[in-house]
């Protein structure tokens, strides 16, 4: 890499390379610390991706996570109480690319995938949505 450079120029080039890597590492550590401050009480096992920890949502004393590039939509009853909520990619490929939480029993919902007393369910066949579905159900946490 440095065959045609003098020793002094090679040293300066390596020094600049190390300084550049140090700066990039420092920026990454600061960004990660800022993301951790946004979500201060998340369990260590809470899901994350390249953009940082997932968004969090507390419902019925349970902590749910969903990806940063997804949208959440609450479904409220006449009294304004949240009875269920949905998370979905901002750019859905199909109408069924939604993960819903709450809103009935698995038997009544007739969903392709459904689990729990306050069910988490989807009818999506999209692989990326199914991965998020599995991650959501694995990381539901009781809030204390």
Residues forming beta bridges with residue 57, ordered by sequence position = 64
The predicted structure's pLDDT at residue 33:
46
Where in the chain does DSSP place strands (E)? 48-49, 52-53, 55-59, 62-66, 70-76, 82-89, 99-102, 113-115, 120-122, 141-142
Per-residue pLDDT, 38: 43
The pLDDT assigned to 37 comes to 39
Residues 83 and 100 sit within 8 Å (Cβ to Cβ): no
**Prediction pTM value:** 0.65
Residues 6+ apart with CB under 8 A from 109: 103, 119, 121
Give me the residue spans of the domains in the chain: 1-38, 48-142
Q: Kindly give the pairing relationship between strand 113-115 and strand 120-122.
A: antiparallel
pLDDT along the chain (144 residues), means of 10: 66 78 64 45 74 84 88 91 91 88 84 85 92 89 78
């Amino acid at each position: 890499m440095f065959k045609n450079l003098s020793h002094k120029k090679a040293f300066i080039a390596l020094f600049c390379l190390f300084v550049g890597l140090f700066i990039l590492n420092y920026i990454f550590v600061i960004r990660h610390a800022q993301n951790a401050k946004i979500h201060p009480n998340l369990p260590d096992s809470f899901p994350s991706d390249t953009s940082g920890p997932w968004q969090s949502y507390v419902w019925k004393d349970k902590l749910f996570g969903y990806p940063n590039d997804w949208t959440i939509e609450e479904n409220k009853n006449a009294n304004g109480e949240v009875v269920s909520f949905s998370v979905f990619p901002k750019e859905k490929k199909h109408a069924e690319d939604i993960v819903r939480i709450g809103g009935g029993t698995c038997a009544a919902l007739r969903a392709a995938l459904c689990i729990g007393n306050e069910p988490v369910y989807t009818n999506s066949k999209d692989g990326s949505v199914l991965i998020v579905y599995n991650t959501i159900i694995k990381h539901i946490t009781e809030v204390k």
